[in-house]
Amino acid sequence: MNELRRFVRDVPDFPTPGILFRDITPLLASPEAFASSIDAMAGPFREIPARKVVGIEARGFMFGAALARELGLGFVPARKAGKLPGRTERISYGLEYGSNVLEVHADAFSPGEPVLIVDDVLATGGTAAAAAELVERLGARVTGLTFCIELADLQGRSKLPGRRIHAVLVL
């Protein structure tokens, strides 16, 4: 999968000074690279039962929807506050450069339903941990988390102890 690295552009000081942003738009622009990343993200979870994929706003929507289609699963968006109609459950969490809120429809899952969480990047782990907590708070069961990129130096896995985690590219 190291051939996918050439489709990830490094952008220093974005969105704030000191942050090295990993831009995946070149990967998304290449049908072959995007398909290869989806296949690689799905690989470890093809034999693990799940019924839904949760994609984290916003780039996680692209990967999550494609992964849900690839695996034949339903898709649930985890959105920023105020973006979903109807009754939602919410969680606040910290980012490496601020804080945020995630919401999911309160009726998104059946009790005990197995769920796979998807995002583009595992950085500090705060967003992924918040999504997992939100899914479990709503009565579902997280079977794993899959990412296109993991930023190993930020040690995001440490916020997800005991969870099955897969990343296609570890940078």
Q: Which of 75, 124, 116, 73 is closest to 98 using CA atoms?
A: 124
Q: Which entry of 70, 89, 90, 96 is annotated as an active-site residue? A: 96
Q: Is 87 a catalytic residue?
A: no
Pull the structure tokens for residue 34: 């995007």
Q: How many CB atoms lie within 10 A of CB 88?
A: 19
Q: Which entry of 59, 90, 141, 164 is annotated as an active-site residue? A: 59
Q: Is 59 a catalytic residue?
A: yes
Q: How many CB atoms lie within 10 A of CB 3?
A: 10
User: What distances in angstroms separate CA 11 from CA 14, 17, 53, 146, 162, one per listed residue?
Assistant: 6, 11, 29, 23, 32
Q: How far apart are CA 142 and CA 117, in angstroms?
A: 7
Pull the structure tokens for residue 90: 């919410």
Sheet containing strand 98-105, strands side by side: 88-95, 98-105, 74-80, 52-56, 114-122, 141-150, 165-170
Active site residues: 59, 96
